Amino acid sequence: MCDRVNDRIQVFKPDGTFVKEMFINKETLGSGSVWDIAFSKDAQQKYIYLADGENDRVHILDRESLEMLTTFGEGGRQPGEFYGVHSIAVDSKGNIYTTETYRGQRVQRFVYKGLAPITKKDQGVVWPKK
């Protein structure tokens, strides 16, 4: 469950029993940091993709531990940047789709290229730069 203004994800069993929670950028004010989540398309759904609209980022978490593995994006209007990233979804090929609110008013697609080692916690803008 996304608890947007309290900056946290909460996990429950289907019967409603609380399992665990994780705070994401707990110091975030305003509209909060946990806007929407989607799961990776591998059989185990090992990763959670989290849209953080107040900080203009997408966070990738390990689903089991809720550890934040890496982050991509930053604020702006160019490809790979976000202006109020609001919703997130993953298709059957693993591509990630984001929508933006406020005045962002767009959809972006991030093409799945496979898995690789994480080299840094903040990937920044994942658009090719010349």
Q: Evaluate if residue 38 carries a pLDDT over 90.
A: yes
Going across the sheet that includes 96-100, the strands are 85-90, 96-100, 107-110
Structural tokens at position 70:
């890496």
Give the pLDDT confidence score for residue 106 in this predicted structure.
94
| Phi and psi, residue 89, nearest 5° | -150, 160
With respect to residue 97, please indicate whether it lies within any of the assigned structural domains. Answer: yes
DSSP 45: -
> What pLDDT digit, counting tens, does each position of 44-94 carry?
999 999 999 999 999 999 999 999 999 999 999 999 999 999 999 999 999
With respect to residue 123, please indicate whether it lies within any of the assigned structural domains. Answer: no
**Which residues, other chains included, contact 110 with Cβ-Cβ below 8 Å and sequence gap of 6+?**
95, 96, 97, 98, 126
Q: Which domain holds residue 77?
A: 2-110
Residue type, 2: C
Q: Evaluate if residue 130 carries a pLDDT over 70.
A: no
> Number of folded domains in the chain?
1
With respect to residue 122, please indicate whether it lies within any of the assigned structural domains. Answer: no
Give the pLDDT confidence score for residue 92 in this predicted structure.
95
With respect to residue 92, please indicate whether it lies within any of the assigned structural domains. Answer: yes
With respect to residue 118, please indicate whether it lies within any of the assigned structural domains. Answer: no
With respect to residue 127, please indicate whether it lies within any of the assigned structural domains. Answer: no
Structural tokens at position 5:
């203004």
| Phi and psi, residue 5, nearest 5° | -75, -15
Give the pLDDT confidence score for residue 98 in this predicted structure.
97
> What pLDDT digit, counting tens, does each position of 2-13 carry?
999 999 999 999
CATH number at residue 31: 2.120.10.30
With respect to residue 27, please indicate whether it lies within any of the assigned structural domains. Answer: yes
With respect to residue 128, please indicate whether it lies within any of the assigned structural domains. Answer: no
